[in-house]
Amino acid sequence: MTAYLFDVETTDRKAPLEIIEAAWIRMRPGVDIVGGDEDFICLYLDSEFICERFQPSVPITFGSMAVHHILPKELEGCRPSNQFKLPEDCTYLVGHSIDFDWEAAGSPPYIKRICTHAMATHVYPEATGYSQSALIYMLLGATESTRALVQGAHGAVRDVHMNAMLLMRILEDMPTRVTRWSDLWEFSEECRIPRTCPMKRYEGVPLQDLDAGFVDWCLAQPWLDPYFRKGLMRVVQKWTA
């Protein structure tokens, strides 16, 4: 079982998009540190860092370029984007709003995603913002060194290292100590289930307070977010218990 902290930069924020930069930190299996338990979380203990750029077959949108500041000429001579592949030993993929990065990498169904954004909303309910940069300022302090770190954000290299810092703080501040990747994934999955309605009409309304007709309508929609669906199903189960 191998976990990768993962981040990508792409040609656009919506499909069709291609990866132009990918960075990851491979967390060594826990068996290297504690005998026999490959699921043990070992952060930054003999970890491996990789970063590579790729040349896309589609133009980089100016909106995306304004975020990551990667110029087309800087990708000349790089491998084509369609040659990007996640490592074969990848079991867990960790990142901030990791679904985007996972989808950009081809949405491999066998990989379990651990989302630091979702976990942060539960561990830090008092936060005034949940972007990675906002959380880093909150956790590390409003200092010149933090500013220097955050100002380099939105490049895969800097973002993946910032995410490692955020992950370590989340592990330290969680109400229950977690030492296994499988347990952290289960916590992340639970955190991704909304407690209030994310849809505009009833945005912010606790799920248990939603109108039964609206809940039934939502559950009948094939496009419904799977985590929102889980939350609504729990409400229905309570209603019928």
Same-domain status, 167 and 207: no
Same-domain status, 29 and 134: yes
Same-domain status, 40 and 75: yes
What would the pLDDT profile of 69-83 be if each residue is shown by its tens digit? 999 999 999 999 999
What would the pLDDT profile of 134-186 be if each residue is shown by its tens digit? 999 999 999 999 998 888 667 888 899 999 999 999 999 998 888 899 999 99
Spatial separation of the C-alpha atoms in residues 55 and 169, rounded to whole Å: 35
Going from the C-alpha of 14 to that of each of 59, 64, 85, the distances in angstroms are 13, 10, 20
CATH no. for residue 86? 3.30.420.10
What would the pLDDT profile of 189-206 be if each residue is shown by its tens digit? 999 999 999 999 899 999
Same-domain status, 146 and 102: yes
Same-domain status, 150 and 60: yes
Q: Could you tell me the pTM of the whole model?
A: 0.89
Both tokens of residue 100?
Answer: 């985007």
Same-domain status, 214 and 100: no
Spatial separation of the C-alpha atoms in residues 29 and 51, rounded to whole Å: 20
Given a contact cutoff of 8 angstroms between Cβ atoms, the answer to whether 54 and 18 are in contact is yes
